[in-house]
Amino acid sequence: MQKIIDAHTHLSERQDDGLNRFARVNGLRYTLVELLDTMRKHEIVRGLLLSPPLQGGVPLPNDDVIGLCRRSGGMLSPVITVEPTAKEVKTAVKLAEENRKEVKAFKVRLGYVKAAAQSPVFNRLYDYAESRGLPVLFHTGDTAFSTGNLSLSHPLNLDGLANKREELIIILCHFGNPWFEDVAELIYKHPNVYADISGLIMDGAYAEKYAEWLAKKISEAIYFAAGAQKVMFGTDYPVTKHSETLALVNRLDVDERDKEKILRHNAERVFRL
């Protein structure tokens, strides 16, 4: 088995973590030890760590994310979450600059915050990300909580930003689920737009049929985009288990070279790992 990169994982080790309920459903302890042990088991050599939401709707502080990564022995790299205020943007850019050897990307929580991707409040962030070649991950598609705003998290909202900022590396998290065809068009149209397959597996009476449907949709998107060079593996741990997302990749009706791109090569190139 080739070495794998997980482009989207979460952790906090806090009782007020809003993802604890997903961990319980999945039978996970949701600890740093468990995460690293599971990564080793599945030969996942690197992971990008994103802030989970805490109760009350705020993300885990970025300093905590950096601290967890430093405890990982080099297996995890931090992604800085950026909230839509001038103060938060300034703080996030400063933190990234102070930790520039470690920070690999930024994250904007579209659908969870009251701001669009093209909001002027993010201009300073985008300027800095472009200057450093750092990707910006955007939550797209369905939200984990019913209070999320789908009109802001729809993937087509990133089309205007990609048109305006052709040097900004944009990553659509969760493949815009359920708008797979829209994401297929975005990654085909824009050289600077990518997508990850994190957080797509769910339990339920139709779990097997749903997994088949997901594999078909993602495979068709890859056909449309003329290859898998814009698609990255991500688990969204603890929302989904590593084994489930790896099984999803195995289900894809694409050749082995494209699976290798998804599992490692694309993230290695985009995040410069």
Query: Does residue 1 register a pLDDT over 70?
Result: no
Q: What's the CATH number of domain 4-270, 3.20.20.140, 3.90.25.10, 1.10.8.100, 3.90.226.10? A: 3.20.20.140
Task: Give the pLDDT confidence score for residue 147 in this predicted structure.
Answer: 87
What percent of the chain stands above pLDDT 90? 95
Per the CB < 8 A criterion, the answer to whether 169 and 134 are in contact is yes
**Cβ atoms of 216 and 173 closer than 8 Å:** no
205-251 pLDDT tens trace: 899 999 999 999 999 999 999 999 999 999 999 999 999 999 999 99
In this predicted structure, the answer to whether residue 129 has a pLDDT above a threshold of 70 is yes
Q: What is the pLDDT of residue 52?
A: 97
Alpha helix segments (H runs only) across the chain? 20-25, 32-41, 62-70, 86-98, 123-132, 150-153, 157-164, 180-189, 207-224, 242-251, 256-260, 266-270
222/196 Cα distance (integer angstroms): 12
pLDDT bucket at 254, cuts 50 / 70 / 90: very high
DSSP string, 50-103: EPPBBTTSPBPPHHHHHHHHHTTTTSEEEEEE--SSHHHHHHHHHHHHHTTTT-
Local structure of 187: helix, strand or coil: helix
Q: How many CB atoms lie within 10 A of CB 50?
A: 28
Task: Indicate if the pLDDT at residue 63 is higher than 80.
Answer: yes
**pLDDT of 12 higher than 70:** yes
Q: What is the DSSP string of 106-125?
A: EEE-BTTBS--TT-GGGHHH
204 torsion bin: left (phi>0), alpha (psi -120 to 50), beta (else): left
- Report which DSSP code applies to 261: I
Q: Is the pLDDT reported for residue 2 higher than 80?
A: no
How far is Cα 225 from Cα 184, in angstroms, rounded to an integer? 6
22 — pLDDT class (breaks 50, 70, 90) = very high
Residue 17 φ/ψ, nearest 5 degrees? -70, 125
The pLDDT of residue 29 is 97
Q: What is the pLDDT of residue 205?
A: 87
Whether residue 107 has pLDDT greater than 90: yes
Whether residue 168 contacts residue 161, with contact meaning beta carbons closer than 8 Å, is answered with: yes
Crossing angle for the helix pair 180-189 and 157-164, nearest 10 degrees? 10
End-to-end CA distance of the chain: 19
Q: What is the dihedral of CA 59, 60, 63, 67, to 10 degrees?
A: -150
As beta bridge partners, residue 108 has 138
Encoding tokens for residue 32? 């740093």
242 in Cβ contact with 9 (< 8 Å): no
**Reported confidence tier of residue 144, pLDDT bands at 50, 70, 90:** confident
DSSP label of 166: T
**What rounded mean pLDDT belongs to the chain?**
96
Q: Side-chain half-sphere of 109: how many Cα atoms within 13 Å?
A: 23
Percent of the chain with pLDDT over 70: 100
Domain spans of the chain, in order of start: 4-270
Q: Taking CA 91 as the corner, what is the angle to CA 90 and CA 93, rounded to the nearest 5 degrees?
A: 65
Q: What is the mean pLDDT of residues 55-77?
A: 97
What's at 144, amino acid-wise?
A
